[in-house]
């Protein structure tokens, strides 16, 4: 997976060669009306942050793929709820804002309707969502050794089902369709070397 580097062109956007693609991602250097770069891939759409109504006590859990995101969401839930009954699953309590599916028309009311302190998930760099949150929001960033993240991603990708591929390759897809694991990976060591 590839996202544009932070600190691209003046006014936002990417500093990579125009039209460069990697593993289904597309970075064309565009920015939105607030100057935030637009990040899109088969998984992500940074423009969904435009519909989030910020709260002063939001917690943003920003992680690289497969780097302990769900683990950190659960830790934050335990701290916030302090042993009390939680408001659903980790995904219910801490929605992934920039996941391309479901559409924001569905997700925005869910996020806005949360009555507990919100902790929102993202896999985007800060420049993509910072214009849409308050200066008092808290950030948690998690990093992980790339080799470990790769093995976790490989396992996740291999276990995906037809419904997941259908959602990722649904209308609104940016770039080429995400191929099934068996079509994309002839050899895990070879795939690792490319990654």
Which residues are CB-contacts of 148 (< 8 A; sequence separation ≥ 6)?
none
Is the separation of the CB atoms in 154 and 188 below 8 Å?
Answer: yes
pLDDT tens-digit map of 21-54: 333 344 567 888 888 899 888 888 999 999 999 9
- The Cα 169–Cα 64 span in angstroms is 22
DSSP summary character for residue 99? B
Q: Is 43 annotated in the active site?
A: no
pLDDT tens-digit map of 76-100: 999 999 989 988 999 999 999 999 9
Q: Sketch the domain layout of the chain as residue ranges.
A: 21-194
The H or E element that residue 63 is part of is strand 59-63
**Beta bridge partner(s), residue 31:** 37
Q: What is the pTM of this model?
A: 0.80
- The Cα 68–Cα 143 span in angstroms is 8
Q: Among the options 43, 116, 123, 156, which is catalytic?
A: 123
């Amino acid at each position: 997976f590839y996202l544009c580097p932070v600190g691209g062109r003046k006014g936002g956007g990417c500093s990579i060669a125009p039209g460069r693609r990697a593993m289904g991602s597309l970075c064309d250097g565009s920015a939105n009306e607030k100057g935030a770069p637009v990040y899109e891939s088969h998984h992500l759409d940074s423009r969904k942050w435009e519909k989030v109504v910020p709260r002063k006590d939001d917690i943003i859990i920003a992680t690289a793929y497969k780097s302990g995101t769900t683990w950190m969401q659960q830790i934050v839930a335990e701290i916030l709820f302090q042993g009390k009954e939680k408001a659903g699953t980790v995904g219910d309590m801490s929605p992934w804002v920039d996941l391309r599916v479901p559409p924001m028309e569905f997700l925005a009311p869910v996020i806005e309707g949360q009555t507990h302190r919100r902790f929102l998930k993202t896999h985007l760099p800060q420049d993509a969502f910072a214009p849409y949150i308050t200066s008092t929001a808290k950030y948690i960033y998690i990093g992980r050794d790339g080799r470990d993240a790769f093995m976790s991603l490989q396992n996740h990708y291999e276990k995906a089902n037809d419904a997941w591929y259908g959602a990722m390759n649904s209308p609104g897809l940016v770039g080429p369709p995400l191929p099934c694991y068996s079509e994309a990976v002839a050899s895990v060591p070879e795939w690792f070397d490319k990654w």
